[in-house]
Amino acid sequence: MQALCTQAKSFTRLLDEAECYRQLRQLRWPDGQVRCPYCGSEYITKCWTYFRQPACRRYQCGCCGLSFNDKTGTIFEHTKLPLAAWFLGFYLAQLSQSTAAIARELPCDYHTAQRIVWLVREQVVRLEEGRVLQGTVEADEIYVTAGHKGQAPGGGCKALTFPPSAEGQKARTGTRERGQG
Ligand SMILES: [Zn+2]
């Protein structure tokens, strides 16, 4: 964890909220032309900032009349977590940090960290969509939660783990053969 904290300190530039919003605007509108997420118009009549979020710009569309901000229509919309925390969370998730570790580093609650991890995984799947694996393919092992062990596929109730007996024997795992125990 010490190494992680040291690494996070080197991200001062990214952790600057104004810089994060600049990065977001550059990703959304690479040519610098703000477009309305509702009608696609480039006719913006007004641009202002929030008192509590001076880094976030709000715009008024001159075509449909609706207002929107830098985060409207993105995964950051309606979130109270600072943009810098999201960016750092994405970075940590890409480093395969655990959800609990991300929640500690940001800091945020476990469910928010879990959402960040899922968003990163969804994005990775989207980017890899259509990619055909070739040659020798290796897959990592899968972790099965204890709650699902011994259950038949599809939620069946064929338990394969038996509870300890009254004599205090350990639970046995496996299929029960006829005539045994
Ligand atoms: Zn519009």
pLDDT per residue as tens digits for the range 89-113: 888 888 888 899 888 888 788 998 8
What integer pLDDT is reported at residue 9 of this predicted model? 47
pLDDT at 146 over 70: no
In the numeric block, the tokens 């810089």 are attached to 19
Residue 69: band (very low, low, confident or very high) from pLDDT cuts 50, 70, 90 = very high
Q: How far is the CA of 36 from the centre of ligand 1 (A)?
A: 5
Q: How confident is the prediction for the chain on average, in pLDDT?
A: 77
Q: How far is the CA of 68 from the centre of ligand 1 (A)?
A: 9
Angle between helices 83-94 and 110-127 (to 10 degrees): 60
**CA 82, 100, 79: angle at the middle one, nearest 5?**
25
Report helix angle 83-94 to 17-28, nearest 10: 80
Q: Quote the pTM value.
A: 0.62
Sheet holding 44-49, edge to edge: 44-49, 57-61, 67-69
Instruction: Give residues whose Cβ lies within 5 Å of ion ligand 1.
Output: 36, 38-39, 41, 61, 63-64
In eight-state DSSP terms, residue 48 is E
Q: Are 4 and 72 in contact (CB under 8 A)?
A: no
Confidence at 176, pLDDT banded by 50, 70, 90: very low
| Distance from Cα 115 to the centre of ligand 1, integer Å | 29
Higher per-residue confidence, 30 vs 4:
30
pLDDT of residue 145: 66
What is the reported pLDDT for 39? 95
User: What distances in angstroms separate CA 168 from CA 159, 163, 172, one per listed residue?
Assistant: 20, 10, 12
Q: What is the mean pLDDT of residues 35-59?
A: 92
